[in-house]
Structure 1
Amino acid sequence: MIVAPAFIKQLQAAQLTMPPIVLIYGEEPLLIRQSLDAFRAFAKNQDYLQRDTYEVDAKFDWQSLEMDTQAGSLFAERRLIELSMPSGAPGKVGGDFIQKWAQLRHDSPPEIVLVILCEKLDGKQTKSKWVQVIEQTGLVVQSRPIELKALPAWCQQRALSVGLSLDLEAANVLAERVEGNLLAADQEMEKLSLLFAQGTQLQVQDILNNVADQAHYQLFALSTAALTGQTAYALQILNRLKQEGLEAPIILWLLAKEVRTLVQLCELQQKVSLAQAYKQLFIWNSKQAEYSQALRRQSLQGWQELLRLCTQADFEIKGIRKGDAWLSLNDLVVKMAQ
């Protein structure tokens, strides 16, 4: 098994012997897409000029595919056969076909390369016979999510690839804005590459001004207004977000995240300085002033009480508790800001 970034590097360096079968799977859609794109480009350079794509579902005709692979090509043209199988469940017939294909004696390089694309596979699936045989005779590529703490560095590398640069704080703000979503970060970098000239070093304000749509921007503006004590403005943003149809769970997610951070800061302040607490929690300069203002308004007990209000709103959203979740969110915003 190989992780997607290492797989892509091997392909770009042309250090891979073409296998007869490849499985690309995982939780990160962007890395799956990049792995597939890199493999297609590598295969094209190896004269795999034909590509057939199939969507695999419960009704997929595996026997027809088997006949297609056995027929071969009149002119022995090399080709890729891509099977998009999100569920990772080929069934018995499909599993048998994959095992049989993988264990065939193929030419080197093989005339046909089978590429299987799946989403996340659980432990039972990765131990299934069809996955194990691919690992033995072909190649299994795993697309793992990038840890949140590693995302800023990834954003910096992605910026360089489109001719821009990010300092670490700007990269951290971008990572925060996209909520750890690698695909969203990639899309935002593509957009920024169109907005700024090649060679530009992007600052925090560039990210704040240009990343994410207006509703998303207002969501973070709500957080800032609540943390800095702007009660009326915060309520105005909350009402606007409700009118625009932003779902209550998304708003609660952000507010609860801020309250939990403030609880952690209060607890750490009992052991270390505030500056050290910020460092331990990876809170950058652009947010420290906001948290500092909030910390002056509430004690640890106060922020813990707001965590209980977050739980109440969550229960109301899920229907576990009777009540109006939007009224609870309104109350939460007021108590955060006052």
Structure 2
Amino acid sequence: MITAPAFIRQTQQPGFQIKPLMLIYGEEPLYVRLSLDALREALKAQGFMQRDRYDVEGQFNWQDLQMDTQAMSLFADKRIIELDMPKGTPGKEGGEFIRNWLNQQQQVMDLETVVVVTCEKLDSRQTKAKWYQAIEAQGLVVQSKPIEGNALIQWCQKRAADIGLQLDGEAAAELAQRVEGNLLAADQELEKLGLLFPQGAQLTIDNIRQSVADQAHYQLFALSTAMLLGKTQYALQILHRLQQEGLEAPIVLWLLSKELRSLIAVSQKQQTMNLTQAYKQLNIWSSKQNEFNAALRRHNLSYWQSLLGLAMQIDFQIKGLSQGDEWVNLSDLVFKISQ
């Protein structure tokens, strides 16, 4: 296993060694994307000009993929087959395809086809699965880990330097805090700063505060994630910060009510179908499914339904129809969702 930043550097070295199957996965989507882009460039330089992409979800037909990999024309370009498998669950047939592909390609001197699998975060059970172990043994595994704390501050400084800007420590820390550790958001903000300031400009904390838009929406996303994953203290810290920054209580209540309604809907669907089908019918993105899984393991349908009463009480307080402090009750609701 190799980390995403190290892998990106490796692809840029002469003689980059291609493996028949490579897995890129992790919690940081920016580095999953950057790793995939770097790999595409490296493979293109070695003659892999054709690229085919498959979305692996639901009732994916692995037999069709098997036939496709065998139907190679004599004069066909070298090609990349990309399998987007967000949940990291290939199933029995998918696991067999992965192991068989690796075994078949092990003796091939000049690879004509390379398979690249991308996933979101994998848990310990998945990394112990036979398909994962086979890739680790015979292919290559690239992990995209979250960047936090001082490492995130340093990342902001390095990324700024890449686009011709200089960030002092305070400015980089302010940027990291405003985007709540979201690298995609940080990257976007730095790109904007590159357009606002001349090359070589030294940016201060005041420049960041004046130029970087209020990232309350990123904090809302972070609040949702923390609640669903059961990170109670972190969720309450985010809520307190939102209150301090002047975010209106109805917006927070909208978020909490939306997540509650989704939890209730999934719990109801789960009584007649499996989770995968429920998520698909309710259009819950794969990136949120692990968070919902964590919440659903903590409480049942009746519990989530009981919290709607508290949400309604907060709504009455916001509208002046009931006495009480809506922020106190919002804290209580965040606590009860995340506990």
TM-score (norm 1): 0.68
Give the distance between the partners of 2:48 and 2:194, measured in 1 at CA. 32
Q: CA RMSD in A?
A: 3.1
Offset, 1:162? 1.1
Contact 1:173 1:207 in 2 (8 A): yes
* Consecutive aligned runs of 4 or more in structure 1 exceeding 4 Å deviation: 213-220, 222-226, 246-250, 317-323, 329-333
Q: Deviations over 1:116-174 (max 9, x none)?
A: 00001111111111111111111000111112232111100110111111001000000
Contact 2:20 2:111 in 1 (8 A): yes
Contact 1:18 1:109 in 2 (8 A): no
CA spacing shift, 1:194–1:70, aligned 2, 3 Å: same
CA spacing shift, 1:61–1:204, aligned 2, 3 Å: same
Question: Which blocks of at least 5 consecutive residues in structure 1 are unaligned?
Answer: 227-233, 251-314, 334-338
Offset, 1:319? 4.9
Contact 1:49 1:79 in 2 (8 A): yes
CA spacing shift, 1:209–1:69, aligned 2, 3 Å: same
Residue 260 of structure 1 is matched in structure 2 by: none
**Structural mapping, 1:131-280, within 5 Å:** 131-213=132-214, 237-238=246-247, 241-242=248-249, 245-247=251-253
Offset, 1:192? 1.3
CA spacing shift, 1:148–1:58, aligned 2, 3 Å: same
**Counterpart code for 1:328:** D
Offset, 1:214? 7.3
Q: Deviations over 1:52-99 (max 9, x none)?
A: 001011211111110111112331421100000001001111111111
Residue 17 of structure 1 is matched in structure 2 by: 17
**Structural mapping, 1:7-156, within 5 Å:** 7-105=7-105, 106-156=107-157
Offset, 1:224? 10
Contact 1:88 1:118 in 2 (8 A): yes
Contact 1:24 1:141 in 2 (8 A): yes
CA spacing shift, 1:66–1:331, aligned 2, 3 Å: closer
Q: Tell me, what secondary structure is at the counterpart of 1:82?
A: strand
Q: Tell me, what secondary structure is at the counterpart of 2:132?
A: helix
Contact 1:178 1:212 in 2 (8 A): no
Q: Tell me, what secondary structure is at the counterpart of 2:325?
A: helix
**Counterpart code for 2:201:** T
Contact 2:180 2:218 in 1 (8 A): no
Give the distance between the partners of 2:132 and 2:147, measured in 1 at CA. 23
Residue 264 of structure 1 is matched in structure 2 by: none
Give the distance between the partners of 2:59 and 2:218, measured in 1 at CA. 43
Contact 1:53 1:84 in 2 (8 A): yes
Question: Which blocks of at least 5 consecutive residues in structure 2 are unaligned?
Answer: 221-237, 257-303, 319-323, 331-339
Larger radius of gyration, structure 1 or 2?
1
Q: Deviations over 1:236-270 (max 9, x none)?
A: x45xx346x355779xxxxxxxxxxxxxxxxxxxx
Give the distance between the partners of 1:200 and 1:188, measured in 2 at CA. 15
Contact 1:165 1:202 in 2 (8 A): yes
CA spacing shift, 1:209–1:218, aligned 2, 3 Å: farther
Give the distance between the partners of 1:246 and 1:97, measured in 2 at CA. 46
**Counterpart code for 1:50:** Q
Give the distance between the partners of 1:129 and 1:218, measured in 2 at CA. 38
Contact 1:152 1:168 in 2 (8 A): yes
Contact 1:25 1:121 in 2 (8 A): yes
Aligned residues: 256
Residue 328 of structure 1 is matched in structure 2 by: 325
Give the distance between the partners of 2:218 and 2:138, measured in 1 at CA. 49
CA spacing shift, 1:204–1:57, aligned 2, 3 Å: same
Q: Deviations over 1:6-47 (max 9, x none)?
A: 101101223521111000011110110010010011111111
Give the distance between the partners of 1:77 and 1:224, measured in 2 at CA. 53
CA spacing shift, 1:172–1:126, aligned 2, 3 Å: same
CA spacing shift, 1:167–1:329, aligned 2, 3 Å: farther
CA spacing shift, 1:205–1:224, aligned 2, 3 Å: farther
